[in-house]
Amino acid sequence: MARRADRALLGALVVSALGHVAVIVGPAWQLPEDNDDTRTRVEARLVTAPAALAQAGLQAAAAPAPAVKPASKPAPKPRPRPRRKPAPPAAPQTPVASLGELPAAEPQVAEAATAPVEAPAAEPAARIPDSESGGENTPEEPAGAAPTGGEVTDPAEETGSRAAPAGALQEAGAPAEAALPRAARIAFSLILANLQVGEALQTWQRDERGYRLRIVMETTGAARLFKALTITQTSAGELDAGGLKPQSFVYEQTGRNTANSTFDWAQMKLILEQGENRKEFPLDPGAQDLLSLPYQLGLAQEARQTTVSVASGKNYNRHDLEWVGEETVATPAGEVRAMHVRTVGSDQTTEFWLAPRMHNLPVRIMFTDRKGTATQLIAHDVEADGTALLRRTDITERK
């Protein structure tokens, strides 16, 4: 008899836990910059132009001596000019004058040719090919070595403009982590009195048409032997400038009628239906459901709203919000920094821990009823857009 009583008590606890979880589930919501292409362009421009000038300058510097000798051949060209202007006796003086002026003029040309060789001093640029073959950090040297080149600043501006969109995405709610991913998956452990009694899997999807959230919770292990219970919740709606705008919320539980919540934004009313029961409430602006609430809180962290109306499928209540602050959450996959937000209602308190480095997805959710009984969902695996953000690697999972 004692064993039966213990089993009945444990079964009651499991059912109670899943009933509480139904009120608390719902998650919230980079780029590596690739400037390699632009850096390659900068290096190519710096290397080829100065290198060509350097080679031309070196050839010009090496040729000054021989350039004086061939200058005697073009000497006849200036002869006709003085013959036309001065008197005939000036003709014999012109060869002497031309021979004297040409050597004087050509050294100046030679000096002018040597000066550009030092000016481009393309030797710093000539070092770029060596460093180019030596490592990837060389693009920083050309940028500082040749600040006068317009080609260096243009690619820098291009890289800045390319980085701007990534920055804009990162500022969409806190750095890049606050932007809503297109797809996300969160696996939770269902904990009651420090005892795991179940598992939950939540999925998020969004596209140009809107969003869809779904969570499936069920008892596992020994708890399932006492009570095989499954709860499914689904939220669907739009995304606008204000964030999530739910249109429907569906609550399904083993052995019970499905509860539907319809958000009629045109008429500004909320319709709750379960079996033959039907209720209508005035719809408050910014109202959410159980699943969309944490996502909306993640998007509105900077706004720090103080109240919110929430539909649970059975009821529609207004809750006060308390932004507790950032804390460290212990999960089966390690410690995670998260923003702690508490919602206080007339008959329940729900708390969310939203991880900024994981798109503000919840890594912990806790519900406390009037009697002080706490039920928790603690994340052990988080994936967003195909990237694992949190991963448990324990013995059970390896098997």
Query: What pLDDT sits at residue 241?
Result: 87
Q: b/e string for 169-199 if b means 16 or more Cβ within 10 A?
A: ebeebbebbbbbbeebbbbbbbbbeeebbbb
Give me the percent of the chain exceeding a pLDDT of 90.
Answer: 42
Owner of token pair 């982590």: 177
Show the low-confidence residues of the chain (pLDDT under 50): 22-72, 90-178, 395, 397-399
Q: What angle do CA 376, 380, 386 make, to 5 degrees?
A: 130
Q: What is Dmax (Cα atoms) for the chain?
A: 145
Paired strand residues for 326: 339
Query: What pLDDT sits at residue 322?
Result: 93
Residue-wise pLDDT tens digits, 338-357: 999 999 876 778 999 999 99
Helix boundaries (H) for the chain: 2-21, 36-62, 64-68, 80-84, 90-118, 123-126, 128-134, 140-145, 150-170, 221-226, 292-299, 395-398
For residues 231 and 218, the answer to whether their CB atoms sit within 8 Å is yes
Q: How far apart are CA 69 and CA 78, in angstroms?
A: 16
Query: What pLDDT sits at residue 220?
Result: 93
The pair of three-digit structure tokens given for residue 210, joined into one six-digit string: 């809107």
Query: What pLDDT sits at residue 286?
Result: 95
Phi–psi pair at 394, nearest 5 degrees: -100, 180
Residue 180's SS3 state is coil
User: Would you say how long the chain is, in residues?
Assistant: 399
Residue-wise pLDDT tens digits, 179-227: 789 999 999 999 988 889 999 999 999 999 999 999 999 999 988 888 8
* pTM for the structure as a whole: 0.58
For residues 275 and 265, the answer to whether their CB atoms sit within 8 Å is no
Q: How far apart are CA 182 and CA 205, in angstroms?
A: 6
Phi–psi pair at 244, nearest 5 degrees: -80, 135
Task: Classify residue 102 as exposed, middle or buried by CB count within 10 Å of its CB (0-12, 13-18, 19+).
Answer: middle
Query: What pLDDT sits at residue 180?
Result: 85
- The strand ranges marked E within 221-315 are 230-240, 243-253, 259-264, 269-274, 277-282, 288-289, 307-311
Residue 304, by phi and psi: left (phi above 0), alpha (psi -120 to 50) or beta? Answer: left
Q: How far apart are CA 321 and CA 341, in angstroms?
A: 7
